Amino acid sequence: MALTPLVIAVVRAPRQGVRRAFLLGLATGAVYFAGTLYWLVETMTTFGKLPTPLALFAAAALVAYLSLFPAAFAAILARLRRTLGPRALLLVPAIWVTSELGRQYVWDGFPWALLGYSQITTLPVAQSASLVGVYGLSALLALTATAAAYVILDRGRARWVVAASVAVLVSVTVAWGSARLAASPLLTRGQPVRVAVLQGNVAQEQKWDPALRDEITDRYLAMTRQALDQGATFVIWPESSTPFYFEHDLVRGGAIRRLAAASNATLLIGSDQVEPIKTAAPTDPVKERSYNAAFLVKPDGSIGAIYRKMQLVPFGEYVPLQSVLFFAGPIIGAVADFAPFTAGTEPVLLPVGSHKASTAICYEVIYPNLIRRVVLDGSELLTTITNDAWYGRSSAAYQHWDQAAMRAIEQGRYLARAANTGISGFVDPYGRVLTKAGLFESANLVQDLRFLTDRTVYNRIGDLVAWLSLAVTLVALLVGKR
């Protein structure tokens, strides 16, 4: 029902113009995103060492930007209400999903907390993500909110027809989802694999302390041995878990490779990577590019693949519009000891025996199109590595976990998640949590998963619902203009 008040407010005052509707949508967006992203301020002040007024300004700037999308939704609805009349209410789901699609593709993209994610713990409803993705779930929620608004606004019998039709749709959705959960055919298909995720629980202020480098490395090596003793053949470390450059540290990096070779296991190591930039002349100062990367160590100790993070975190790994927001530069220095990260350019599959897995680093997992792409390329198992220590004990880590779980349903794949301070765990292809660790505790989780090759309807059609919503919205605007 979240959109119902906004829809009613916009529709009840069509003569007061698009401008008023825009302001109503802007206010809605401010509440929506300030209430969801409040933890940005603590992240920037505690770990970015930014003064509180500047952190508030930077967070407010992001909230204001994101609020433009609900504002655009309200303005478009008001415009169509004036030109198409009450029929415009039928277009609310398409207009809303179009605004969410914009959040993914406009500027650098920040599709955090889309409306459809609210259903991830209501598994019978969430199963529809295997058909239409998270955008389809957002459309369903926008539809139910609009039906409620219609019942309030209309005084004729038609409102009960609308309410009954939507109730039937929701009932069918729940019934189909329940049947899918009861059958769960994917749980018996594919090749089994025993996977471990490590949650080292290393405090953010300790990660890059040279005096603790050996202690942190030894902790992860010991946890890996413990997982191997439990039969794990694929062990996953969190994002940037090594307090050194894996490729360049022959002692500590060599110990990890030797452990993989001695145990005949595959390890996925989150570590930063640097590479030199070729200069015009030999006498020019040496420059380097930095990447947030994941290294796949094969059972023979060699590096089988390197994935470089493609979607960087704004204000965490780079500063958007840096010439304007120059004051946010200190946040970058808190991330590591070097310049801002460079984005990777290609998804990389990870060889695990004769099978292929994939990984998403940190908030990359909130991009459904990116995860779909690696599954289309042949990924049989989803993994994601992250360091959510930046968020403290706020709701951000829980939001992040829920959004990652949605990818498992969409793609019909098991998901393994390794987070430095939590939440680490495993999700089955239907979104059920198999096991997970709490925040700020050391954990070594081992679980039997499966490599799967089945493809969901969503994997085949992608974000078709979202793109059709965009097309319908544009056509409606053209028709209304004529």
Q: Of the residues 362, 364, 410, 436, which is catalytic?
A: 362
The single residue of 42, 100, 207, 239 carrying the catalytic annotation is: 239
Is 261:313 a contact under the CB 8 Å cutoff?
no
Phi, psi angles (nearest 5°) of residue 356? -120, 130
| DSSP-derived secondary structure letter, 246 | T
In the residue annotation, 362 being an active-site residue is answered as: yes
Contact 431, 409 (CB under 8 A): yes
3-state secondary structure of 420: coil
Name, in order, each residue with C-beta under 8 angstroms of 178's C-beta and a sequence gap of 6 or more.
124
What is the amino acid identity at position 457?
A: V
Q: Which two tokens stand for residue 49?
A: 């060492």
Rounded to whole angstroms, the Cα distance separating 19 from 22 reads 5
Q: Does the annotation mark 239 as catalytic?
A: yes
Q: Among this protein's residues, is 309 annotated catalytic?
A: yes
**Residue 447, CA atoms < 13 Å, CB-side half-sphere:** 24
**Measuring CA to CA, how many Å separate 364 from each of 98, 101, 179, 330?**
21, 16, 31, 23
Cα 194 to the center of its chain, rounded Å = 25
- Residue 445: enclosing H or E segment and its boundaries? strand 443-451
Instruction: From the candidates 207, 309, 356, 436, give the one annotated as an active-site residue.
Output: 309
Q: How far apart are CA 25 and CA 78, in angstroms?
A: 11
Bond preceding residue 371 cis, omega within 30 of 0: no
Read off the DSSP letter of residue 242. Answer: S
Beta-strand (E) ranges in 278-380? 287-297, 303-308, 350-352, 355-361
Enzyme catalytic residues? 239, 309, 362
